[in-house]
Amino acid sequence: MGDNGEKTPPGTTESGDDGDDVAGTSESPDAGDEGGDDDVAEMYGSPDAGEDGGDEGGDGYGANLDMDSPLLSGDAPDEMEEVTGRFYVKHTEDVAVTLHEIGTEGIYTLVENPGLEVHQILDATLVENPPLGVSYLIEEIHEQRTIPVEYSDEPPTRQVQQLATDMEHDQAAAIEREGEGEIHIIHVAPEDVAETAESLDDDETTYKNAAEFGVERVEIRTDEDAGIVSIRYLP
């Protein structure tokens, strides 16, 4: 999967104490296109913010109904829509599942649960559930996996520590790794490091990013004294 977020260029190419090769330029972490850091910071906001309600008012029930519509006359469409893509499992029940499509944020409701769990990543083909087509069934599962989020005792790399010194509290930046994956840096107050890090394995953004980048695992490193949380998306 390709990256679709803006990247903030790192300071230098990282030799790294753990062997990572990081491509970069000599610019500071807040250089580049305006708003790039904000995009990364907003990734790790609250995933449960509510949505606005629908339109109010109107001409009343039935004002614009077309009684010659195929559905209203009892005829289902000849072919139901199919959707093939990569999905994040947002919510599960015994007989219902909510999926978010990676890259488009399309939302699909399944009327059956074939053993899916929250935070899993699913490569699948969905088909509309007749006759209305407002919900979906799974036609084929191509791949189903759980991406592990691991906490490391290793400190953030030297480059991450250097970049964080130029960042304000609650600011975030992204470093593009050479090859697959990214490293995200969040700079918070030292007393907020533990809480911020602990929330990441239950944050849908972590799993959606991993699916978007096409990586196999996520590693979290922290430096409480410096207020650094490093989120490493690794192949």
φ, ψ at 207 (rounded to 5°): -75, -35
The answer to the question of residue 101 being in a domain is: yes
Strand 217-223: give its sheet, edge to edge.
149-151, 217-223, 228-234, 182-187, 171-176
Task: Please name which of 141, 155, 122, 149 lies closest in space to residue 222, comparing C-alpha atoms.
Answer: 155
The answer to the question of residue 203 being in a domain is: no
Under a CB-based contact definition with an 8 Å cutoff, are residues 182 and 175 in contact?
yes
Render each residue's pLDDT in the chain as its tens digit; 235 residues.
444 444 443 443 444 445 454 444 334 444 445 455 666 767 776 444 444 444 444 444 344 445 454 444 445 556 778 999 999 999 999 999 999 999 998 999 999 999 999 999 999 999 999 888 889 999 999 999 999 999 999 999 999 999 999 999 999 999 998 888 999 999 999 999 999 999 999 999 999 999 999 999 999 999 999 999 999 999 9
φ, ψ at 171 (rounded to 5°): -100, 150
The answer to the question of residue 223 being in a domain is: no
pTM of the model: 0.68
Q: What is the number of structural domains in the chain?
A: 1
The answer to the question of residue 100 being in a domain is: yes
Count, residues in the chain: 235
Give the residue carrying structure tokens 């904000």: 38
Domain of residue 110, CATH code:
2.40.50.140
Residue 38 is predicted with a pLDDT of 65
Residue 184 is predicted with a pLDDT of 98
Residue 180 is predicted with a pLDDT of 87
Residue 229 is predicted with a pLDDT of 98
